[in-house]
Amino acid sequence: MGPIPLLLLLFLTVLSPFSRIKAEEDFTWEIKKVPLVINKKTVTLSSPDFKAEAKRELNGTCGIECQSRLPLPSVSDLQDFLSYETVYENGTRTSTEVYFRNFDMQAEHEVIKDSHSRRKRHVYGMDSRFSISDKQFVTNYPFSTSVKVSTGCTGILVSPKHVLTAAHCIHDGKDYIKGAKKLRVGILKLRSKGGGKRRKGSKRGKREAKPAEIKPSFQWTRVKRTQVPKGWFKGVTDDVAVDYDYAILELKRPQKKKFMDLGISPTVKKMPGSRIHFSGFDDDRPGQLVYRFCSVSDESNDLLYQYCDAQPGSSGSGVYIRLKDPESKKWRRKIIGIFSGHQWVDVNGQQQDYNVAVRITPLKYAQICFWIHGNYAGCRDG
């Protein structure tokens, strides 16, 4: 689709297509006790080489049936997966081991009872993406939370100075990609272009000056440090690496923009219309922010499988939904996943394509929240 009409966009994103069913079914954010992911030991590592090539597509991912045959990871396994590396802007690197407190294995691996019918995508059909063309709209919430990562991906603001994105946007599983050495984040802001002032005493200056054109453009800021879970690294885990395809980027300068809060991903049956939403900077529409929403086709404990139309460049987008706040009863958006991108997954021994998002589980929520705040004061209830 081309540029989205403003009234239709308001209907889709503000009024919500689910307003008709609010009276029939109450979709509310559940308050869950979040475990503590506590730093155990931090050691200094050698500086990374930054030699990996950026990947647009991740092949050979263990699919839904494949994952169902894997034994559930032990607490020790999960502590290995949630341990993490930190890379600073000067090139230094540390590795941090973690352990858990108040951890509920059953809550982390919630049994999904209601399976969803799986659809094979033989025909993609009409492109369901919307380009956000309105100059003011694209720089207002919630679209203003989407940012451009200099390696070619998208991210989303989760605090004034933190961006959540996909791990593969900065690391290929073995090494950090070349562009991650001087990582930057671009934030869309309205700027004046063209126009000019009249000069005194000149004939041309007596004419009316052409008014400056207001256009959205990126303001770039450097990344101070990046944090990636070791579950993404090859050698720590292979079969479930995509489950940990997320990273946090800390900016050098805080942004005066509204950010989007984190949330723990509910099961699909608790999402209005089983739908998710996200916006990104797709490569085939340069300079445009592209919004889309779609129903989730299937899910595992760590992943959401769907057919939202997307192109390279949208990887790392924050996947969000709207549910009611249990106290105010107002509808509130929260990020419940990170769009990983197009994946070839193993389904009954055959390769099938899906678009995959990493869902935010209680453990991942605890880890990401700690990375953002540096403490657990605001991270105990998801």
Hey, which residues are catalytic here? Answer: 168, 239, 315
CA of residue 83 relative to chain centroid, distance: 20
- Bridge partners (DSSP) listed for residue 101: 36
Here the tokens at position 371 are 């990375």
* Burial class, 342, CB count within 10 angstroms (exposed 0-12 / middle 13-18 / buried 19+): middle
The three state secondary structure string of 216-256 is EEEEEEEEEEEEEEHHHCCCCCCCCHHHHCCEEEEECCCCC
- Bridge partners (DSSP) listed for residue 276: 294
Report CA Rg, the chain.
Answer: 22
Residue 269 sits at the vertex; the CA angle it makes with 266 and 274, to the nearest 5 degrees, is 95
* Burial class, 346, CB count within 10 angstroms (exposed 0-12 / middle 13-18 / buried 19+): middle
Contact status, residue 231 vs residue 81, Cβ threshold 8 Å: yes
CA–CA distance, 117 with 99 (Å, rounded to integer): 37
- Bridge partners (DSSP) listed for residue 164: 156, 248
C-alpha closest to that of 110 among 285, 313, 360, 376: 360
- Measured on CA atoms in the order 16, 263, 277, 260, is the torsion positive or negative? positive
Torsion of CA 235, 237, 240, 246, to 10 degrees: -80
Distances (CA, A) of 259 to 21, 200, 314, 336: 28, 45, 18, 14
